[in-house]
Structure 1
């Protein structure tokens, strides 16, 4: 399926004319930003959405508009507790969903943290890698049997994957000096590699997986960035864009940021996006060189690298899938 959707499309525009009645979708990170907007757009078109969040009280307040959209669009919305920085919480959430037993047509692994100060999760993993990758790795694999044949997994990555490949020998910066952007890059590369290998393992039953870049959006994800940090990052992007003959960087709105998530989950052809990295409602090309935003690095979609990360991730979390 092709479309004219692009960088400025919104989630509602992508879903225009689509009836999602009867579709059940899990979205993580629904206490702010993209997660809230993704859930709202889906329920407005009739979907039943389960939203996962660490802070349920915050999520209840943040998703008032989602519930209103569900009522108007004949959709449904529920919340479940999920702290991706605690594997005990992840396993409890998965157990709850499995006990409930109702299948999902789509899982959107939206939650994450960015450029945080050095820290570790409850289980001793570097915060960004443990939260963004390993938490979702355990959750999705534990509920994989609930994802329907012909379903879809969408993991949210970032152009930030260009900062660094995964480090399979020192994932927690036990030896290397910690850099928040390098850590973010590792986690976002891991999000892509996870989708690549999950897709390979499940495509025989029509369950396809892809990773997406939502775009640069001002949300709570940037809570650890100061204004000067943001200005320096944008200046760096614009300098590189100018050298490449590309236009200056522009932030997306939150509705525009949610568009690629719902496009990849609902609209895009499964064979087109399966095992791929998508941006601006299309499949990205592999790029090298100094490009800061568009395209995907080859190491992030390398099938052998994806298998290696999967095996190491199983070792780190103490589970095999």
Structure 2
């Protein structure tokens, strides 16, 4: 019987007894937070991880512990990737294709959250362009390197519940910019991308899924006021207490990275393919409720296959490539 994990499960618990020798895994965003721990946990169990980061010097320093944790055939190498520049994304993809070394798992972990309004090098709203379009081009360009039986894990968030994607005004040209609305759009896009990618690739044995890692204090919150997270927890717990619910606690980075590695190398492919996961299991609750840090749930628009196909077509239009 498969072991059941939950919100407090950490990476080592999820990967206990797993030998990942011979597995090649690409992880984006390995210079901070969840990306570092995801890479560390995987190489500690024998995987060879290719870690992508915008700032290679920062990533080199940040991943020294991960490098030291490598066992057996495990190891970590770094490649340069700036998801806010399609030129950088294409260059990274071309370099990987030239090497021709296949991957068993791709974890699209990198991202930005609730930043001030800005544009990528290609003129896309920064959060949508970085979190979705950059990964959209990277994954599609190197899809031929994904082995049969491989998986793609897209890091989404419960923040997808802030907003559906807006395919008519993706860059806030006519809509007043709200940082968390923009974040919600990008995180919904991550789920919809996984839904459509899974539909397109499952016949060849590749499955795609989206995960919410939980609420964790990492560099992702760099654009928030210093007291924003503490205020969020305080207000959430006051609301939860009023409704007779238990208090909320932040996840540790080890707990946050657990759902990524669970979905990537532990869970059954048919269980997670085309689905949204949190707390190391597939989310079954479809909800219209406001975001609640305790309650799980996925918005119906995030799993809508027609919406996923429409986003794919819009994304191809925006990046000027057909996949």
TM-score, structure 1 as length reference: 0.97
In the alignment, what sits opposite 1:15? 15
In structure 1, the residue corresponding to 2:227 is in which secondary structure? helix
What's the CA shift for 1:177? 0.7
What's the CA shift for 1:287? 1.6
In the alignment, what sits opposite 1:47? 47
What's the CA shift for 1:38? 0.3
Structure 1 Cα separation of the partners of residues 242 and 204 of structure 2: 45
- For structure 1, which segment, 247-256 or 177-186, has the greater mean C-alpha deviation from structure 2 after superposition? 247-256
Structure 2 Cα separation of the partners of residues 152 and 238 of structure 1: 36
What's the CA shift for 1:288? 1.9
Structure 2 Cα separation of the partners of residues 217 and 10 of structure 1: 13
In the alignment, what sits opposite 2:37? 37
Residues 301 and 105 of structure 1: CA distance in aligned 2, closer, same or farther (over 3 Å): same
In structure 1, the residue corresponding to 2:302 is in which secondary structure? helix
Residues 243 and 151 of structure 1: CA distance in aligned 2, closer, same or farther (over 3 Å): farther
1:48-87, CA deviations, whole angstroms, 9 ceiling, x for partnerless residues? 10000000000000000111011x4441110000000000
In the alignment, what sits opposite 2:119? 120
What's the CA shift for 1:226? 1.3
In the alignment, what sits opposite 1:312? 314
In the alignment, what sits opposite 2:274? 275
Q: How does 1:156-305 map to 2 (within 5 A)?
A: 156-242=155-241, 245-285=244-284, 286-293=286-293, 294-305=296-307
What's the CA shift for 1:291? 4.3
Structure 2 Cα separation of the partners of residues 165 and 79 of structure 1: 34
Residues 123 and 291 of structure 1: CA distance in aligned 2, closer, same or farther (over 3 Å): closer
Structure 2 Cα separation of the partners of residues 197 and 315 of structure 1: 16
Do 1:27 and 1:110's aligned partners in 2 also have CA atoms closer than 8 Å? Answer: yes
Structure 1 residue ranges without an equivalent (≥5): none
1:206-247, CA deviations, whole angstroms, 9 ceiling, x for partnerless residues? 110000000111110010111332234334533554465432
Structure 1 Cα separation of the partners of residues 269 and 318 of structure 2: 31
Structure 2 residue ranges without an equivalent (≥5): none
Residues 11 and 315 of structure 1: CA distance in aligned 2, closer, same or farther (over 3 Å): same
Moved segments of 4+, more than 6 Å: none
Do 1:159 and 1:213's aligned partners in 2 also have CA atoms closer than 8 Å? Answer: yes
